Structure 1
Amino acid sequence: MTKLLLSLHVLAAIVAIGPVTVAASMFPPAVRRAAAAAGDGPDPAALGTAALLHRICRVYAGVGLTVPLLGFATAAAMDVLGSGWLVTSIALTAAAAGVLVAFVLPRQDELLGLLNEARPVERAGTVRLAMFTGVFNLLWAVVTVLMIVRPGSTTGA
């Protein structure tokens, strides 16, 4: 059962978190391209791309809830719920989710709203969003490393 849970946990992380990290990273440049259109409002194709990237982030963020759920089930089956590396991973996962929910997704909504209203988008806003996205991605990278290295692991790696 542990191998099944671990496999599902890893697959969920790849399928759910991967698209969010990529789409969130692509969003700020897509908004800048859409906003760079001359006078007549945002470029429709670039606006469509930004909207699609935002939808990917929202949908896969919801799907991403399966990652910690399967992680807890796996950790319980492996009897490692109290391990320091796991507690640290849980805290970092919560921080990543907080950054996504509190900073990345709302800022994406705001920037899309500006584009849809044909209002100017300041570069500083997309740069700030890119910074929050980078923090989100970095937190997930650290969690991934902890999941692989696992201090005290018995895998022999």
Structure 2
Amino acid sequence: MNDVYLFIHVATAILFIGAVAVATSLFPRYATGDDAAGFVGSGGHPAAVAMHRITRLYGLLAVISPVAGLILAIRWHALGHTWVWLSLVLVVIAWALLLLAIIPQQEKLLREVPADPAKARGRAAAFAGVFNLLWFVVLVLMYAKP
């Protein structure tokens, strides 16, 4: 049964977290690009809308990965390891960033043209970068198990 949980843990990390990492990184380009202003009345640039949908849906589905990982940690008696708890804390921070900053920011950029598109693009890219960095650190912790 551990093999099933491990498969679910890794597969959902690749499929869902990986997709969110890409979508959050691509969103600023399409939401604040030169041609984005032409799509404001229709809900935003179609590519930005698609990236936002992926961010929202896959971001929620990605909860499967740490849940499967937590089940594995319990089954393997690994809850006493610092790297497990540090990973969980980083996952919670990443989701807080996603739910409280990235998704609301994306929705705002789809509704209205920012006064300073370059600044809005930079801010959205920075949030995406921090989000992706958090997941990268979690990946390193999962691999290295320091």
What is the CA distance between 1:91 and its match in structure 2?
0.5
Aligned match of 2:120? 125
CA distance in 1, matches of 2:69, 2:27: 28
Aligned match of 1:155? none
What is the CA distance between 1:120 and its match in structure 2?
4.9
1:72-128 per-residue CA deviation (whole Å, 9 max, x = no partner) reads 11111111012100000001111111111111111000000115xxx7553211211
Pick the structure with greater CA Rg: 1
The letter for the 2-side match of 1:42 is F
Specify which structure has the bigger relative contact order, considering alpha-carbon pairs within 8 angstroms and separated by 6 or more residues.
Answer: 2
| Length-normalised TM-score, structure 2 | 0.91
CA distance in 2, matches of 1:139, 1:56: 19
| Length-normalised TM-score, structure 1 | 0.85
Aligned match of 2:28? 28
After superposition, where does 1:45-64 map in structure 2 within 5 Å? 47-64=45-62
Q: Which runs of 5+ in 1 are unaligned?
A: 152-157
Q: Which runs of 5+ in 2 are unaligned?
A: none
SS at match of 1:80: coil
Runs of 4+ in 1 over 4 A off after TM superposition: none
After superposition, where does 1:1-157 map in structure 2 within 5 Å? 1-33=1-33, 36-37=34-35, 41-42=38-39, 47-115=45-113, 120=115, 122-151=117-146
> % of aligned pairs identical?
36
The letter for the 2-side match of 1:70 is A
